[in-house]
Amino acid sequence: MSDPASDKERLDQLRQEIERHNQLYYQAAQPEIPDHVYDGLMQELIALETAHPEWGTADSPSRKLGEQPLAGFETVTHAVPMMSLANTYNKDELVAFDARVRKGIPDTPFRYVLEPKIDGVAVTVRYEQGTLVLAATRGDGRQGDDITRNLRTLDSLPKQLTGAPAPKVLEVRGEVFMPKAGFVTLNQRREELGLSVFANPRNAAAGSLKQLDARVVAERPLEVLFYAAGALDGVLFETHEQMLEAFKSWGLPTHSHYWVGETIDEVLLALDELEQQRHEFPYELDGGVIKVNERAVYETLGYTAKSPRWAVAYKYAPERAETRLRSITIQVGRTGILTPVAELEPVTVAGSTISRATLHNEDEIRRKDIRVGDRVWVEKAGEVIPAVVGVNKEARTGDEQPFAMPDQCPECGHAVTRREGEVALRCENLHCPAQLKQWLRHFASRGAMDIEGLGDVLVDQLVARELVRQPADVYRLTLDDLAGLDRMGGKSAQNVLNSIAASKSRDLWRIIFALGIRHVGARSAQALEARFASIDELVTADQETLEAIDDIGPVVAGSILAFFADARNRSVVDALRAAGVNLTRRADAAPAEGPLSGQTLVLTGALQHMTRDEATARIRALGGQVTSSVSKKTDYVVAGEKAGSKYDKAVKLGVPIIDEAALEELLRAHE
């Protein structure tokens, strides 16, 4: 028999521990433990509370959804409570779930629907007469945060329902998530900037929705899928399947596939099929959701304090493996960021052999107490990036060694620094070989100077042989320099030289982007080109002038000023000038004088009869300017299909909105 005193002590301990993990998961979006470990703690708590009902409390985490409204957002009371689903990792429990359902509605025929379970953030979106009027988080189930402005930035979320006639009120519920590819790109960008990275796509999505500035959300690759309904007026769904098809008819994004089964055995087979397909989905999928299809029986089956009794979530076992951490090495990126990398005994995870995994930064190593020699658990974050997610501390022998980040760059010996507000250490030596390699790859990339043939292998050799010490040296390479390198014949060498020569006359915005100025992407570089006729004008620009440019805010402006304030960076520009690289705006890129001179247009949504580039070129040929952000100075917003947050901002600011047909009429009238 168990000891009541120790049971009570363990129960109190579990409640405190679960509340702490709720704070980390819901509020900070920085969980310390994987879902299956958290679920195990919760199940242990529920078992103790069931065995000792006298210790039950209304505020136990077993009865709460866990998330409280955030400061800075308006609080929304849900017309229909938003509940969570009970979940299990055990198929026997699904059989037991089926037995409870059949007992609850005896002699009533029904079917099940199985849907993929997205690991995202639960939201509700309200449409009135087909128009989006409100979006909110689940919160504590009764109240959530008003995130309407943030969700309006999602291109996949229709602002106006289409197709079939819309009901008077339609509340749809689903998940906001970050696709795996977008998650990888976002983390890579954050690492380059010295910022902390997200542990997985779910945390990235949650952290994004907590942003008070909708412009930040707009830059995140978020999407949404819907699979449930809240308040309804003017529509009645007989089955869950009918509801999903109705969502599609209104233009709402839903799952690409779901299964319908008569028995729990059919559902179990479908779960196995879904598991085989899980890596084919563009988003992270951690299981399946089983629901009774016939909605008429929902009230009969009823609800627990947290969950409906007519649905359950089945979670797949996490795809992780345990292996030994042999050592920790340091990679130096393009911006000088030092990233620790775990060198592992090879292990298979999700069908791939993993021997290296990111450790992100020193803070992550300390938080997880990772030591060289540890037995560690490895997962694929977002099913893409191998990452060390934890340590098997019970396997420690005492020989494991704590790790400390170096105080000097391992590539060049230059002292490393940590900038204010950053978690990463950085090598500030622009001539660091590792940093130079990354810089050259960026400089030669298709989006920058587009130097074909100047890839990883060639860059490594050029830096190793000290033929290139900065980007300008690329333009001094000779046929003899290249022909003597590995895997570089005479013809290949000449092709590279031809591409290098062609890059000298690229647009001004490309060289601005190629310089690698922090926070300056291709779009910002194009905005700078539109304002400044030469690199010299940009170098001498002040903060006020820079901030007055559309797409250039205080952070980007400050980064540009800091870059050109460094004499080493100015010398790079001078060397490029001496090498014959174009540093002025080409005549055909300058705003033309014409009937649209002085007018600014913004394009948003998908155009059907011309590309964005074609529309931009035609507008600029008539003297107009095209920017990517809407302000009071904008003359027209051209709204294509699925217009997003720019459309909403134009409405708010009273900026004229025209469609593609009106744009075509405007252009033809002046061409």
Q: Does position 28 have pLDDT exceeding 60, yes or no?
A: no
Q: How far apart are CA 508 and CA 532, in angstroms?
A: 9
Which structural domains are found in the chain, ordered by start?
Answer: 4-55 (1.10.287.610), 75-315 (3.30.470.30), 320-402 (2.40.50.140), 433-503 (1.10.150.20), 508-578 (1.10.150.20), 600-670 (3.40.50.10190)
For the beta carbon of residue 111, count every other beta carbon within 10 angstroms: 17
pLDDT at residue 590, rounded to an integer: 54
Catalytic center residues: 117
pLDDT at residue 98, rounded to an integer: 96
Between 141 and 195, name the one with better pLDDT. Answer: 141
CA angle 239, 245, 247 (to 5 degrees): 105
pLDDT at residue 2, rounded to an integer: 57
pLDDT at residue 288, rounded to an integer: 95
Q: Does position 152 have pLDDT exceeding 80, yes or no?
A: yes
Q: How far apart are CA 475 and CA 469, in angstroms?
A: 12
CA angle 179, 185, 187 (to 5 degrees): 100
Percent of the chain with pLDDT over 70: 90
For the beta carbon of residue 21, count every other beta carbon within 10 angstroms: 19
In this predicted model, what pLDDT tens digit does every residue of 515-542 receive, in sequence order?
Answer: 988 788 877 888 898 889 999 999 999 9
Query: In this predicted structure, which of 79-83, 331-335, 410-414, 598-602 has the lowest mean pLDDT?
Result: 331-335
In this predicted model, what pLDDT tens digit does every residue of 587-635 receive, in sequence order?
Answer: 655 555 778 888 888 888 878 888 776 788 788 778 888 877 788 888 8
Q: Which amino acid is at 76?
A: V
In this predicted model, what pLDDT tens digit does every residue of 465-519 receive, in sequence order?
Answer: 989 988 999 999 999 999 888 878 888 899 999 999 999 999 999 999 999 887 8
Residues facing 113 on adjacent strands? 260, 291
Q: Does position 394 have pLDDT exceeding 80, yes or no?
A: yes
Closest CA to 24 of 54, 85, 67, 65: 67
Closest CA to 384 of 456, 465, 279, 518: 279
Residue with tokens 């696709």: 179
Query: In this predicted structure, which of 195-199, 310-314, 393-397, 560-564 has the lowest mean pLDDT?
Result: 195-199
Question: pLDDT band at residue 1, thresholds of 50, 70 and 90?
Answer: very low
pLDDT at residue 185, rounded to an integer: 83
Across the range 171-187, mean pLDDT stands at 89
SS3 of 633, please?
coil
Q: How far apart are CA 290 and CA 272, in angstroms?
A: 13
pLDDT at residue 589, rounded to an integer: 57
Q: Is 0.85 topped by the overall pTM?
A: no
Q: How far apart are CA 649 and CA 153, in angstroms?
A: 10
